[in-house]
Amino acid sequence: MTAGRLFDIKRFSTHDGPGIRSTVFLTGCPLACWWCHNPEALALHAPPGAHAAAAAADFAAPGRGFVGEFTTAQVLDEVLRDRPYYERSGGGVTVSGGEPFEQPAFLLDLLRESRRCGLHTAVDTCGLAPAEVVREAAAATDLFLYDLKLLDPGEHERYTGRANGGILENLQLLDRLGASIWIRIPLVPGITATPANLEATSRFLLDRVSCRRVSLLPYHRAGTAKHGRLGRAYRLPDLAPPTAEDVAAARGHFESKGFTVRIGA
Subset of 70-129 contacting other proteins (CB under 8 A): 81-82, 84-85, 88-89, 91
Whole-number Å distance between alpha carbons of 33 and 58: 22
Which residue in the set 11, 116, 158, 208 belongs to the binding site for other proteins (CB under 8 A)?
11
CB of 33 to other proteins, least distance (A): 20
CB of 264 to other proteins, least distance (A): 9
How many residues belong to the site for other proteins (CB under 8 A)? 21
DSSP symbols for 141-184: -SEEEEE---SSHHHHHHHHSS-SHHHHHHHHHHHHTT--EEEE
Which residue in the set 12, 54, 130, 225 belongs to the binding site for other proteins (CB under 8 A)?
12
Reference 200, options 253, 255, 258; nearest CA is 253
Among the candidate windows 7-15, 108-116, 134-142, 219-227, which touches other proteins by CB under 8 A? 7-15
**Closer residue to other proteins, CB minimum distance, 86 or 219:** 86
Interface pattern 30-69 for other proteins (x via CB under 8 A): --------------------------------xx-x----
Subset of 18-37 contacting other proteins (CB under 8 A): 19-20, 23
CB of 262 to other proteins, least distance (A): 9
C-alpha dist (Å) from residue 139 to 87, 111, 123, 236, 262: 21, 9, 12, 38, 26
Whole-number Å distance between alpha carbons of 157 and 86: 38
* Contact residues: other proteins, CB under 8 A: 10-16, 19-20, 23, 62-63, 65, 81-82, 84-85, 88-89, 91, 265
